[in-house]
Structure 1
Amino acid sequence: MRKMHVWDENNLIDISEVDRNKVINPMLVFSIKRDGTKKCRLVARGDQQDLSTYSKDRQQDTINNMALMTVLAVALDHNLIIKQLDISSAYLYADLKEEIYIRAPPHIKQKDKVLRLNKSLYGLKQSGANWQKTIKDYLKGKCELEEMRFWPCVFTKGKFLEIIVCLFVDDIVIAGNNVNTINQFITDLQNRFDTRIVNDGSPNERDAVRYDILGIDVEYKKGVSMKFGMLESLTKKLPLLGVEFKKESRYNIVPGTPNRSLNQDLDIPCDKDYNAKVNWIQRAIGLSNYVAMKYRFDIAYYTNILAQHQLYPSDAVLFETERLLQYLWTTRGKRLVWKRNEKETSELIGLTDASHAKGLKYKSQAGYFCIWNGKKLFARSTRTSYVCESSTQSETYAASECLAISRSINYLLSTLTGKKPDQILLTDNTALINSIKGTKTINLDPDIMI
């Protein structure tokens, strides 16, 4: 921290001389990373931060998982190099404009003394936004990258596929076909930040490269396939939920009971265990939702249904939550597998479906997949935001949601590759198809093939 000039240890100030609203306590955080590395970090108690010391309007963007999956799919189909970087102590590179003091850390042994912060210490509410401005200004300035419209934290430079940079806080994934451009970019980063090459893209004895990208294990065989999984992580995290997993069980086959309604018992119980039950369900659904959004699209529907009922911990909801966890445990080794597209065609398919008025308060359940060249990029299952009057209206809701996402992905693919994919909508609702093709009552998109 001395090297980063986070504060000036030679300028200790008595706490009585500063505004108490601008003083924050420090805290030591110990953690163990996925690779076993032990880490100790001094952070600020942002939960104690006064409203006068930061702006609520400042936010930090990160790369959307859809964008990351799209970039990885493009890398597979176009035989791109993939490298992974990490910037150490990233937030401390960002200057702090606000007047904020931190109590002298224990090792300084100066009671009732404070230090004025010069840098965006971890824990401060504005640190994330400050760092993002610092890194983005550098990427767009010195590195001459261009951030994509509509897709924050995705950057490109030069010709199509020359280099694509994906930013997630202090983690960077690079894909591209120009080795010189990629190496020069890494050099430019290392000249300004403490940048470590986490993975240089070198294959193992099976001609595969193994990555840990945002908690997902990715296996990349250039020109062949890409696989996504979380075996190690799920093996560690699922037992922490306290479920006794069974090796042989009929609950291992599917993630939930088909067609079971959980809407009968929606009274909030008054028993003393209510808060504990809700907390357990929220932890369970939080983990399963993370996995479902990343790559396990097979559990998206059941996860969303349970998420709608997490404040109603009836016996049925608790049973179905445990059943979902049992299924996830048994199938924790499952991976999402992509194959490289050998054809010249480029197709972006939106596959939609919906059930009418079977959800909470008679709302419908809508779901869809976005698939590019046979690779599932994204899937979602959600309750409609309003009560649909018919099954066709429910299907229209699903199609509209899907097309909004697929149009954005279409733009991303077109910008990255220089080729606009054929956009296709797949639905089994005849009335919806006839409405789109036969009249202008429902105007979803004139360029969509139904």
Structure 2
Amino acid sequence: MVQPENFESNDSKQPVCRLKRSIYGLKQASRQWYRKFDQVITSFGFKENTVDQCIYLKFSGSKFIILVLYIDDILLASSDVGLLHETKRFLSSKFDMKDLGDASFVLGRQIHRNRSRGILGLSQKAYIDKVLSRFGMSNCAPGNTPMAKGDKFSLHQCLKNELEKKDMERFPYASVVGSLMYAQVCTHPDIVYIVGMLGRYLSNLGMDHWKKAKRVVQYLQRNKDYMLTYCRSSHVEIVGYSDSNFAGCLDSKRSTSSYIFMLAGGAISWKSVKQTLIASSTMEAEFIACYEASNHGIWLRNFVTQLRIVDGIEKPLRINCDNKVAELYTKNNRSSSKSNTLTSSS
């Protein structure tokens, strides 16, 4: 560190400066900011959600307000306008902040509201248009599906020599896959499987991988106007769906687990990931997928329960699996050598 201006010291011990407050950019800065914000907001009566510590909730009689913190961006949702304005005034008195009014864009996602019909929508059309423009595909032919039936990925499709690798450097494969990842994380569960497959070959790709990545972009060209929608309902329940292929990875013979959870008529959480062990049957692969979905489902239910604004959410979690044998296996309380192996592996 360079000595501050107007300070000169020839001390051979090389003293350092002690910071009295964190500087933006240091690795400790984000932690210090969170601690400061937590101290301020809890003094105003907000309670931290123990499942997700960036969510705060405050009750005032029958009225409530939810605060969502993402770094230095704040999203507020309240059942009462007066409580909302009161919270805004308090925050403005403690921090330099700018009120942007009703949220229309959050982290690249556009929020659509139809209050008369009780519908909320999340769209990434603007983001997808930027991706299409960035990679010169604004006028590309729309694709019907994110991948073709029977498409396989393997190391045999990767480059064989340095000349081929040199030639592939002109294609922005990693940038395209990275852009697709953000789309699938936010609003497009329909491409989660193929993007996960493409992501396995970021450092060792072939021309087939590049063509398949462009096909996903073409698919988003057709579906960029689609959005996730959530409907107002008196019956709110978290419902999960799990699935798995069998030995889908041709190189490691590992299967891929996938799950998705629905709430209020729309998808709220999803994932597709390669399993950490080699399943010896379709039943085992489906069972592992169901187990992983159950773990995440319990976390989701605990998260919603902590909000304390949805009644009856504590009921048993419902997860749908399309393998009858795996379903029967979950209900079998007898112990066997195979079940012990699955338990230790999972």
Which interval holds the TM-score relative to the shorter structure? 0.7 to 0.9
Asked if the contact 1:164–1:175 (Cα under 8 Å) also holds between the matched residues in 2, the reply is yes
Q: How does 1:216-255 map to 2 (within 5 A)?
A: 216-222=109-115, 224-241=118-135, 243-244=136-137, 246-248=139-141, 252-255=143-146
8 A contact 1:278–1:312 mirrored in 2: no
Q: Comparing both structures, which one devotes a greater share of its residues to strand? A: 1
Amino acid at match of 1:150: V
Q: Which amino acid in structure 2 is aligned with residue 217 of structure 1?
A: Q
Change in 2 beyond 3 A, CA 1:143/1:16: farther
CA distance in 2, matches of 1:160, 1:399: 38
Partner of 1:174: 76
Question: 1:14 offset after TM fit, Å?
Answer: 4.2
Distance 1:269 1:280, change over 3 A: farther
> How many residues are matched?
327
The worse-fitting range, judged by mean Cα deviation, of 317-326 and 157-166 is 157-166
Give me the CA root mean square deviation: 2.8
Alignment of 1:155 with 2:149, yes or no, is no
Report the equivalent of 1:212. Answer: 105
Q: Is it true that 1:282 corresponds to 2:184 in the alignment?
A: no
User: 2:132 is aligned with what amino acid?
Assistant: L
> 1:218 and 1:244, CA in 2 relative to 1: closer, same or farther beyond 3 A?
closer
Unaligned runs of 5+ in 2: 341-346
Conserved 8 A contact 1:253-1:327: yes
| 1:188–1:383 distance in 2 versus 1, CA, 3 Å | same
Q: Which residue of 2 aligns with 1:407?
A: 298
Q: Partner of 2:22: helix, strand, or coil? A: coil
Corresponding letter in the other structure for 1:186: K
Matched-pair contact (CA < 8 Å) for 1:247–1:330: no
**Cα pair distance change 1:170/1:273, threshold 3 Å:** farther
Cα deviation 1:398-443 (Å, max 9, x = unaligned): 1111111111111122222252324211111011111223435579
Amino acid at match of 2:242: T
**Aligned mate of 1:125, from 19, 27, 30:** 27
Q: Which deviations, in whole Å up to 9, do the C-alpha atoms of 1:358-408 show, x marking residues without a partner?
A: 114111011111012322101111111111111111111111111111111
Shift of 1:215: 1.4
Instruction: Check whether the contact 1:246–1:326 (CA below 8 A) recurs between aligned residues.
Output: no
Match of 2:6 in 1: 12
For the Cα contact (< 8 Å) 1:227–1:336, is it kept in 2?
yes
Instruction: Tell me, yes or no, if the aligned pair for 1:147 and 1:154 is still in contact at 8 Å.
Output: yes
2:247 equivalent to 1:357: yes
Q: Percent of aligned positions with the same letter in both sequences?
A: 17
**Alpha-carbon deviation of 1:184?**
2.0
Kindly tell me: are residues 358 and 291 of structure 1, through their superposed partners in 2, closer, same or farther at Cα, counting changes over 3 Å? Answer: same
TM-aligned CA distance change 1:248 to 1:236, over 3 Å: closer
Residues 21 and 234 (structure 1), Cα distance of their counterparts in 2 relative to 1, 3 Å cut: farther
Q: Normalising to structure 1: TM-score of the pair? A: 0.66
Hey, what does 2:205 align to over in structure 1? 313
Q: Quote the residue 1:198 is aligned against.
A: 100
Structure 1 residue corresponding to 2:331, chosen from 432, 437, 444: 437
One-letter code aligned to 1:211:
S
Q: Write the letter of the residue equivalent to 2:283.
A: T
- TM-score, scaled to structure 2: 0.85
**Post-superposition CA distance 1:228-273 (Å, at most 9, x none):** 11222221233223x4455445xx1111122211115165544257
Q: SS of 1:198's equivalent?
A: coil
Distance 1:434 1:178, change over 3 A: same
Instruction: Summarize deviations over 1:168-205 as a string: whole Å, max 9, x none.
Output: 01111111213333222211111110121112x3xxxx
